[in-house]
């Protein structure tokens, strides 16, 4: 009998009100891993009830900031102690490499510790007034119940990026994880319970986006929505949030340029290009999917990237030797393959890859794919593919590549490879992207704020700034 996972509401596991569950599949083996509760409005209502009750309770509202910091630190300790278990469960769920997930989740406590340290540093200011009898000061207050909706590609890290500042600032949460990766977010809620959070401070309702997700977004008691996922879903959520005048933080899609100049160390740049697009089988928001190489180094870069792509070991994500796992689910594989076909029909050439490799497992595997003869106008260069597909294009001048790089609806990240400090400065000033990496790619830290420009997002995640996203400011005047 397949294991069934219930919601986590009010500090306990709770079966879905409608009595239905849905299967979660291992994308490498196609085995059913478990069935998760298929939440709907009734479950969401119960979860928001629980979160609101805790938010209003003295048990939570009278906790000192220092006590909130201690709780978050304790949760960080527990996440650290369970990092290997969580990485294993996450790898089974979404097919990312166990090796990579273990590294990522061993680092996850740092996110919780960072915001634990900020819990008692949320402060206002004393504002000068025109009279010595009048005192004006500001204070920052928590918002209330935060609805957090997260995707499947880094389920825990992306959830913790919201949960940590939200809890540090004194909010409570209802989380709706992706339907493809329910398990580890449920485990996180259990660990929070073990850490000593009041029952109902952190609730998890699993289910489909159109059902549980939509019900959560529609709940009028939410004080804020924090969403990471596709630009399409983000746009629908933003409209609803706007109609109720509640804030939302949106971390959305990307079509990031990775630019290699003639003065770059091409061997290093090629490794950066490969990691930028093939890590996690290209299923990262920051994937460097549009590669621009100066014409004088284009052939060398293409040769190096194609050569490396051809030697990447594809296979079982649990195997330490594997370098590329499967795509996360069947529709995802179909979508990526259809984009390769669209590219070819638009005139692109598959220099390497594009095929399903035989790795001895039935899952959703696809070769890393390098496309040439592409232009920035093609759909494969304009739309997010979210797979291991790189389009490599030559350019001649800095102005030209800057125009091409910025000619996109997205603005999440950009990479620049150059040995010129002046060029590094010029490019990082002029690129329309919330994160710019020079001679590196994919670096990230809880301390470093990030924001998606254009259709890549609204609001800031990570860093000091993220605390502001989970508080509101009150100005108080006292006539003494
Ligand atoms: P998605 O938008 O399909 O789903 C994200 C979440 O939203 C899931 O939990 C889903 O169930 C839920 N959802 C779907 N429809 C909904 C609705 N109508 N109402 C409420 N919730 C709904 O995205 P995905 O396929 O899970 O994730 C991939 C996308 O996420 C990519 O576009 C990627 O670039 C983006 N992403 C962005 C970042 C970032 O930090 N900018 C990080 C990771 C992923």
pLDDT digits over 254-263, tens only?
999 999 999 9
> Ligand 1 pocket, 17 CB below 6 A?
no
Report percent pLDDT > 90 for the chain: 100
Residue 251 a catalytic site member:
yes
> Ligand 1 pocket, 348 CB below 6 A?
no
Closest among 119, 144, 114, 143 to 68, alpha carbons compared = 119
DSSP letters, 248-271, are: EEEE-----EEEE-TTS-HHHHHH
> Is residue 30 pLDDT above 90, yes or no?
yes
> Ligand 1 pocket, 127 CB below 6 A?
no
**CB-count burial class (<10 Å; 0-12, 13-18, 19+) for 394:** middle
Is the separation of the CB atoms in 450 and 435 below 8 Å? yes
Residue of the CA atom closest to atom 23 of ligand 1: 229
End-to-end CA distance of the chain: give it in Å, rounded: 70
> Is residue 458 pLDDT above 90, yes or no?
yes
> Ligand 1 pocket, 253 CB below 6 A?
yes
pLDDT digits over 174-213, tens only?
999 999 999 999 999 999 999 999 999 999 999 999 999 9
Give the integer Cα–Cα distance in Å for 252 and 268. Answer: 28
> Ligand 1 pocket, 207 CB below 6 A?
no
> Ligand 1 pocket, 458 CB below 6 A?
no
> Is residue 1 pLDDT above 90, yes or no?
no
**Cα 294 to ligand 1 centre (Å):** 34
Residue of the CA atom closest to atom 22 of ligand 1: 209
Report pLDDT for 272. 98
Q: 3-state SS of the chain: helix, strand, coil percent to 5?
A: 40, 20, 35
**Cα 195 to ligand 1 centre (Å):** 28
> Ligand 1 pocket, 236 CB below 6 A?
yes
**CB-count burial class (<10 Å; 0-12, 13-18, 19+) for 396:** exposed
Mutate to test the pocket of ligand 1, among 209, 385, 462 (most ligand atoms within 8 A of CB): 209
Strand 460-461 relative to strand 450-451, pairing: antiparallel
**Cα 458 to ligand 1 centre (Å):** 14
pLDDT digits over 368-394, tens only?
999 999 999 999 999 999 999 999 999
Cα atoms in the Cβ-side hemisphere of radius 13 Å centred on 359: 24
Closest ligand 1 atom, residue 217 Cα: 20
Q: Mean pLDDT across the chain, nearest whole number?
A: 98
Mutate to test the pocket of ligand 1, among 149, 233, 283 (most ligand atoms within 8 A of CB): 233
**Cα 360 to ligand 1 centre (Å):** 31
Q: Which of 90, 211, 251, 461 is catalytic?
A: 251
Residue of the CA atom closest to atom 40 of ligand 1: 251
Q: Which ipTM value was assigned to this complex?
A: 0.97
Give the integer Cα–Cα distance in Å for 139 and 75. Answer: 27
Closest ligand 1 atom, residue 161 Cα: 40
> Is residue 360 pLDDT above 90, yes or no?
yes
pLDDT digits over 277-289, tens only?
999 999 999 999 9
> Ligand 1 pocket, 180 CB below 6 A?
no
């Amino acid at each position: 009998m397949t294991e069934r996972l219930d919601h986590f509401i009010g500090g306990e596991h709770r079966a879905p009100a409608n009595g239905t569950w849905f299967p979660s599949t291992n994308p490498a083996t196609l085995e059913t891993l478990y069935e998760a509760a298929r939440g709907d409005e009734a479950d969401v209502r119960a979860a928001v009830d629980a979160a609101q009750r805790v938010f209003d309770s003295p048990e939570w509202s009278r906790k000192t900031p220092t006590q909130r910091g201690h709780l978050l630190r304790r949760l960080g300790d527990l996440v650290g102690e369970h990092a290997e278990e969580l990485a294993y469960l996450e790898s089974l769920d979404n097919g990312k490499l166990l090796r990579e997930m273990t590294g990522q989740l061993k680092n996850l406590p740092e996110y919780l510790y960072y915001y634990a340290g900020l819990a008692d540093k949320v402060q206002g200011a004393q504002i000068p007034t025109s009279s010595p009898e009048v005192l004006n000061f500001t204070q920052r207050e928590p918002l209330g119940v935060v609805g957090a909706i997260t995707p499947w590609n880094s389920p825990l890290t992306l959830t913790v990026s919201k949960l940590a500042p939200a809890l540090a600032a004194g909010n409570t949460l209802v989380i709706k994880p992706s339907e493809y990766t329910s398990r580890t977010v449920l485990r996180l809620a259990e660990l929070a319970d073990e850490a000593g959070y009041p029952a109902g401070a952190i609730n998890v309702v699993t289910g489909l986006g159109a059902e549980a997700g939509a019900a959560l977004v529609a709940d009028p008691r939410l004080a804020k929505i924090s969403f990471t996922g596709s630009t399409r879903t983000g746009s629908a959520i933003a409209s609803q949030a706007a109609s109720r005048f509640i804030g939302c933080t949106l971390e959305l899609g990307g079509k990031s340029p990775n630019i290699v100049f003639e003065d770059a160390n091409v061997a290093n740049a090629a490794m950066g290009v490969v990691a930028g697009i093939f890590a996690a089988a290209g299923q990262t928001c920051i994937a460097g999917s549009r590669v621009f190489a100066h014409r004088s180094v284009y052939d060398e870069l293409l040769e190096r990237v194609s050569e490396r792509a051809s030697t990447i070991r594809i296979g079982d994500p649990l195997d330490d030797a594997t370098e590329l796992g499967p795509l996360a689910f069947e529709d995802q594989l179909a979508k990526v393959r259809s984009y390769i076909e669209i590219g070819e029909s638009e005139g692109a050439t598959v220099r390497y890859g594009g095929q399903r490799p035989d790795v001895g497992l039935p899952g959703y595997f696809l070769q890393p794919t390098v496309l040439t003869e592409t232009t920035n106008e093609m759909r494969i260069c304009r739309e997010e593919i979210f797979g291991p597909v790189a389009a490599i294009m030559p350019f001649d001048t800095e102005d030209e590549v800057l125009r091409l790089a910025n000619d996109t609806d997205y603005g999440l990240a950009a990479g620049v490879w150059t040995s010129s400090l002046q060029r590094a400065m010029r490019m990082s000033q002029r690129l329309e992207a919330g994160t710019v990496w020079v001679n590196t790619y994919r670096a990230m830290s809880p301390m470093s704020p990030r924001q998606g420009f254009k259709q890549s997002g609204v609001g800031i995640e990570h860093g000091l700034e993220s605390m502001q996203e989970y508080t509101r400011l009150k100005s108080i005047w006292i006539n003494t």
